[in-house]
């Protein structure tokens, strides 16, 4: 995926904006969703290189959503970064990264390459 599309999913708008600005500066094309339902729609429309997902979403189970995305063949190679207010109990997703808020947004860009 040469266009380096990233989907940021976080209901905290200031965090989503921080991620958007930092990832754009690192050359990524960033789309933001503030709800899981909105993210589902965006994922149905396009394939993304990576997804940054807040582990605590008000409109659903973020872990279940992540599994749903991982099981979809269109998104099988997608890198996933999980963000959490506390330690994330199941650790990082396979091949992914987990960060606890507050975090250094540059770490995400470095991980995604």
What does each of the 113 residues of the chain score in pLDDT, given as a tens digit?
447 999 999 999 999 999 999 999 999 999 999 999 999 999 999 999 999 999 989 999 988 999 999 999 999 899 999 998 776 566 667 778 888 888 888 889 888 88
Q: Does domain 5-112 have CATH number 3.40.50.2300?
A: yes
Task: Provide the edge-to-edge strand list for the sheet that holds 79-84.
Answer: 29-33, 5-9, 50-54, 79-84, 97-100
Question: Could you tell me which of 65, 10, 14, 15 has the C-alpha nearest to residue 34?
Answer: 10
DSSP 51-110: EEEES--TTS-HHHHHHHHHHSGGGTT-EEEEEESS--TT-SPTT-EEEESS--HHHHHH
- Helix (H), strand (E) at residue 17: helix 13-25
């Amino acid at each position: 995926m040469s266009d380096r599309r990233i989907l940021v999913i976080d209901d905290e708008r200031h965090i989503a904006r921080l991620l958007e600005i930092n990832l754009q500066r690192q050359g990524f094309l960033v789309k933001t969703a503030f709800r899981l339902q909105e993210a589902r729609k965006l994922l149905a429309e396009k394939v993304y290189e990576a997804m940054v997902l807040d582990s605590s979403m008000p409109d659903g189970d973020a872990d279940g959503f992540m599994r749903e995305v991982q099981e979809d063949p269109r998104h099988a190679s997608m890198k996933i970064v999980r963000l959490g207010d506390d330690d994330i109990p199941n650790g990082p997703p396979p091949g992914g990264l987990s960060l606890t808020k507050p975090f250094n947004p540059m770490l995400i860009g470095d991980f995604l390459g």
